[in-house]
Each structure stands twice: as structure tokens, then as C-alpha cells.
Structure 1
Amino acid sequence: MRDASVILSSTITCPICRFAATEIMPTDACQHFYDCKGCGAILRPKPGDCCVFCSYGTVPCPPVQMQEGQRR
């Protein structure tokens, strides 16, 4: 039951306006776009990251968390 340790909530912070919002992440896919609720900017992942949560969130996305859990 390793999925029990997956965190679904992450606070994503806009690199432009610094607005922060706590969001629930999708469990089965990486999110490639995010509309900032502060300034309206469309955020995209940084090079090398799979999704906006891995780039701008406090917690990596569930698929990455599950991969990291399998490596331990």
C-alpha cells in the first residue's frame, strides 16, 4: 500500500507575481499548464521538469512521488 504516502496537495507559487495557491494534483498524469490566479500568466514546466507542480509547487506531482518511492 505504497500509494498511501502520496501527497495530493501542493502550493504552487507563480514566479512572476509570487501569488500562491494550494491545489489538488492529478494522480494519473503530469500537469503541463497552470493559469495563475493572481496575474493570469500561463505557467509551463521548467526545462527538465515533467509538470508545473515539479517546477513551482511545494510537493512534486504524484507520478514523480510514486517513482521516488519505488527507488527507495
Structure 2
Amino acid sequence: MPGSMGVKMILVSKIICPECGFQQEETMPANACWYYYQCNSCQVWLKPLKGDCCVFCSFGTVKCPPVQLGDNCGH
């Protein structure tokens, strides 16, 4: 049974823009997801790919905290 006890959550992820390749390190909220994110280089707005709950799960180097804890976190 998955649980949060003993799980070390990672709160920093690098978002990699699929349009221009720019990489930006961001601190993720521990209890929420970011559904939209604007690239700091090309200004394109990113939103999650089908099946992902947030931009961190789609474009980040680390999945969002709720997913790290085993939560479905589906939007």
C-alpha cells in the first residue's frame, strides 16, 4: 500500500520547453499542481500532455509532489 511515510519529496524540477529547449528550474508546491506554465524564453504557454496532471509531469525533470507520493492527482 503506497504511502507518504518515509518518502523524501523532491520540490525542485527543471521544466524543459518543448518549443525552444529552454530550461528553467522551478520550486513545486507540495500540495498542488501547475496546469499552465509560460516559457521564460519563447513565451509559449505549456499545458500538460494528455494523461499528465501538470506541466511538471509533462515537461519537468521531476514529477509533481502528489505523483511522487503515489497520488493519481488527475485533473
TM-score, normalization by structure 2: 0.84
Identical-residue share of aligned pairs (%): 52
- Give ranges in structure 2 of 5+ residues lacking alignment: none
Structure 1 moving runs of 4+ over 6 Å: none
Q: Are 2:56 and 1:53 aligned?
A: yes
TM-score, normalisation: structure 1: 0.87
Q: In the aligned structure 1, how far is the partner of 2:10 from the partner of 2:30?
A: 10
Aligned length: 67
Question: Would you say 1:11 and 2:14 are equivalent positions?
Answer: yes
Equivalent-residue separation in structure 1 for 2:6 and 2:11 (angstroms): 14
Letter paired with 2:18? P
Q: Greater helix share, 1 or 2?
A: 1
What is the aligned-residue RMSD (CA, Å)?
1.2
C-alpha deviation, 1:43, in angstroms: 0.3
In structure 2, C-alpha distance between the alignment counterparts of 1:51 and 1:15, rounded to whole Å: 15
Any stretches of 5+ residues in structure 1 without a counterpart?
Answer: none
